Amino acid sequence: MVAQVRRDDWADQKQFDAMMRLVNELEARVAAFEIPTETAANIAAANAAVNCLNNFAGRIFRYITNNILIMVRGSLPTSQWDVVDGSASVTPA
């Protein structure tokens, strides 16, 4: 997987640099991790367990249907989720 993270998507350079370090580490180690899976419907629903329980910035899941890694930006039920390659994002409602 080649990361396609865009600088314009992040509030500041430190946040962007941290994201790039995480993406690079994930690409190097993804085979060694047991990454939990989740449905797109649950990620998009603010009241779904994935958005309400044990949520923290940097939490990662893999979409069941298309094998894409996603990461949440914050700990709130409505915190934005980003595809780690920068191709899309989802804000739960």
Determine the structural domain holding residue 63 and report its residue range: 7-90
86 inside domain: yes
Does residue 1 carry a pLDDT above 50?
A: no
Residue 2 placed within a domain:
no
Determine contact, residues 78/46, Cβ cutoff 8 Å: yes
Q: What is the pLDDT of residues 2-50, one digit of tens each?
A: 456 666 666 678 888 887 888 877 776 665 667 888 999 999 999 999 9
Q: Say how far residue 24 (Cα) sits from the centre of its chain.
A: 14
Whether 19 maps to a domain, the answer reads: yes
Q: In the beta sheet, which residues pair with residue 38?
A: 63
- What is the domain count for the chain? 1
At 30 the pLDDT is 65
Q: For residues 13 and 61, which has the higher predicted lDDT (pLDDT)?
A: 61
pLDDT of residue 17: 83
Residue 81 lies in a domain: yes
